[in-house]
Amino acid sequence: MIDSVKRITIVTGHYGSGKTNFAVNLAVDLCREGKQVVLVDLDIVNPYFRSADFKPQLTEMGIEMICPIYANTNLDIPALGADIYSVFNENDGRYIIFDVGGDDAGAAALGRYAHLIQQEEFDMLYVVNRYRYLTRHPQEALEILREIEATSRVPVTGIVNNSNLGSQTTAQDIENAIGYGLDVAALAGVPVRTVTARRDLASQMTSHPVYPVDIYVLPPWEK
């Protein structure tokens, strides 16, 4: 996954598909490779479980973060700052990851940058989880993908198969969902860019290459 990351990566998907966790993993791994990374929290839909929650630890690692101006403050206003425009410079050298809000509602925030994004090579990744209730069938996942594309005016370039059942996920669950990811990709006419697996499960996955991820988004009793 990491070897083929483009300068701009946009992470979209259904609510709760694991966008934030995937975006944070990508940012951390790129940073560990010595890349300069900017993580842009573009989620102005849901104030819970967002990239901005990890700002202190990510900033300490050297990852630059751009968050909605009033994220996690007393002001409940979904405002995006002008500093986001600073990332659209091909010669900038920094790697940019956008963590977008869920569904087409969340993707609406992306629309105002659509023309800037498409000035250079980019990846718009659509995160899917076969075990999420309303995207269990590839056709349902495709519907949401198309809604996101229509609202954001940015085409999806690849699928991230992030199928999991939270802390109860087994390697078998991930295996069982590989075909689903391929089906979504075939319907959408784009490749599966990667299949994720929690780091401790990744070693058990022999039949298929996976991208090992750490779980950052956790309830308090699992921290």
Partner 1 sequence: MNNLAERVLMKGNEALAEAAIKSGCRHFFGYPITPQTEVAAYMAKRMPKIGGTYLQAESEIAAINMVLGAASAGVRVMTSSSSPGISLKTEGISYIAGSDLPCLIINVQRGGPGLGGIQPSQADYWQATRATGHGDFHILVFAPATIQEMVDLVYTAYDKADEYRMPAMILADGMLGQMMEPVEFPEKEAERKIEKPWATTGHQNKRVHNITNSLYLDPNELEQKVVERFKRYEIIKEKEPMAEEYLVEDADIVLVSFGATARIVKSAVNSARAMGIKAGMIRPITLWPFPEKAMQKAAKTASCFLSVEMSMGQMVDDVRLAVNGEKPVYFFGRTGGIIPSPAEVLGEIQKIMGGAK
What are the beta bridge partners of residue 98? 10, 40
Shortest Cβ 49–partner 1 spacing (Å): 6
Longest dimension (CA), the chain: 49
Residue 104, amino acid: D
Q: Give the one residue of 108, 116, 165, 186 binding partner 1; rule: CB under 8 A.
A: 165
State the number of binding residues for partner 1 (CB under 8 A): 22
Does residue number 173 form part of the binding site for partner 1 (CB under 8 A)?
A: yes
Stretch that binds partner 1, among 1-9, 25-33, 45-53, 88-96 (CB under 8 A): 45-53
Strand (E) or helix (H) holding 149: helix 138-152
The two tokens of residue 123 are 């990846």
Rg (CA), the chain: 16
Shortest Cβ 30–partner 1 spacing (Å): 26
Enumerate residues 6+ apart whose C-beta is below 8 A from 96.
7, 8, 9, 37, 38, 40, 87
Q: Which residue, among 221, 211, 222, 189, has the nearest Cα to 25 in the 3D structure? A: 211
Residue placing its CB nearer to partner 1 in the complex, 77 or 82: 77
Does residue number 76 form part of the binding site for partner 1 (CB under 8 A)?
A: yes
Does residue number 3 form part of the binding site for partner 1 (CB under 8 A)?
A: no
Does residue number 120 form part of the binding site for partner 1 (CB under 8 A)?
A: no
Residue placing its CB nearer to partner 1 in the complex, 75 or 82: 75
The two tokens of residue 18 are 């694991």
**Where on the chain is the footprint of partner 1 (CB under 8 A)?**
15-16, 46-49, 76, 129, 131-134, 136, 164-166, 168, 173, 219-221, 223
